[in-house]
Amino acid sequence: MKLIIATPSPFARKVRVVLREKNFAFEEIIDVPWNKDTLTKDFNPLGKIPILLQEDSEPLYDSTVIVQYLENLKQCPRMFPLDAKDHIQARLIEATSDGVCDAVVLIYLEHSRSENLRSHAWIKRQEKKIYKGIEYLSDNLRNKKYFLGSDFTIAEVSTISCLEYLDLRFPKFDWRTKHPNLENYWKIHKDRKSFFETKPSAQIIEPLDN
Ligand SMILES: N[C@@H](CCC(=O)N[C@@H](CS)C(=O)NCC(=O)O)C(=O)O
């Protein structure tokens, strides 16, 4: 299988981590979905990465759909707890982390517009989602090593991806000082092989009026 990614993307990173955790054979294809020559337009009507390509099947897109697909293909190691209540909690952590990342992307794009077109009210609105979302993650985690029981799940995959994306694209938020429990958690997990191999890095993006 082949995965179309962008190197800064926390959404692509979730899938990249899960492919490694589950030990799938795959190839990564690096794209810049914001650029004119993006590969996404051939495979995803929404023009977004990540996209999973496989011979003789339709392309899969959206990190949550792809991760669920990978979980169905190979159950071990599980990314979603079997217990129904824990499963929903893991999904909620994932949705919150993803939502924080969506807000960071929107702020990043707003800053790419010229100053006279930029809406400070819009930026403030997105910032609130980031601060509230991270507070939710911190409150839920408390001082545990894992969000749910003693297992590494999608909650860790999405939270570490989110925190390191904040470092890359929203460094003015010192989440480590505000939420020391998240910093401890990050220190525990950050060097795990699947995270270490997928550290986010910036890409050069064309002006958006392409
Ligand atoms: N909900 C999607 C979000 C994916 C997403 O927003 N990808 C961004 C990169 S971080 C993208 O490709 N954006 C291009 C665009 O919106 O045109 C997922 O979880 O896969």
Atom of ligand 1 nearest to the CA of 98: 19
Which residue range is the domain that position 137 belongs to?
A: 84-193
3-class SS of residue 50 = coil
- Residues 18, 103, single domain; the answer is no
Which residues contact residue 2 at a Cβ distance below 8 angstroms, ignoring those fewer than 6 apart? 26, 27, 28, 29, 52, 53, 54
Please check whether residues 92 and 26 belong to one and the same domain. Answer: no
93 and 6 in a common domain: no
Whether 24 is in a domain gets the answer yes
Compute the distance from residue 9 Cα to the ligand 1 centre, in Å: 8
**Whether 10 contacts 200, CB under 8 Å:** yes
Instruction: Decide: 6 in ligand 1 pocket, CB within 6 A.
Output: yes
Residue 182 near ligand 1, beta carbon < 6 Å: no
Amino acid at residue number 131: Y
Same domain, 104 and 141: yes
| Cα–Cα distance measured from residue 158 to residue 154, given in angstroms and rounded to the nearest whole number | 6
Query: From ligand 1's centre to the CA of 11, what distance in Å?
Result: 7
Report CA(35)–ligand 1 centroid distance (Å). 13
For residues 64 and 95, membership in a common domain is answered with no
- What long-range pairs does 68-75 form, CB within 8 A, spacing at least 24? 70/15, 70/18, 70/19, 70/22, 70/24, 71/18, 73/24, 74/22, 74/23, 74/24
What mean pLDDT is predicted for residues 146-175?
Answer: 98
pLDDT above 60 (res 87):
yes
Q: Give me 135's structure tokens.
A: 């507070």
**What is the tens place of the pLDDT at every residue in 19-72?**
999 999 999 999 999 999 999 999 999 999 999 999 999 999 999 999 999 999
Strand partners, 53: 2
pLDDT value at position 91? Answer: 98
Q: Are residues 139 and 181 in the same domain?
A: yes
**Is residue 9 within 6 Å of ligand 1 at its C-beta?**
yes
pTM for the whole structure: 0.98
The tokens of 77 are what?
A: 């190691």
Number of domains making up the chain? 2
What's the pLDDT tens digit per position in 140-155?
999 999 999 999 999 9
For the stretch 2-14, pLDDT in tens is: 999 999 999 999 9
CATH of the domain at 136: 1.20.1050.10
How high does pLDDT run on average in the chain?
97
State the CATH number of the domain containing residue 41. 3.40.30.10
Asked whether residue 62 falls in the same domain as residue 154, the answer is: no
Distance CA 82, CA 52 (A): 25
* Cβ contacts of 35 within 8 Å, gap of 6 or more: 205, 206, 210
Q: Are residues 52 and 11 in the same domain?
A: yes
| 169 and 94 inside one domain | yes
Mutation test residue for ligand 1: of 43, 49, 52, the one with most atoms within 8 Å of CB: 49
Q: Tell whether 12 and 62 lie within a shared domain.
A: yes
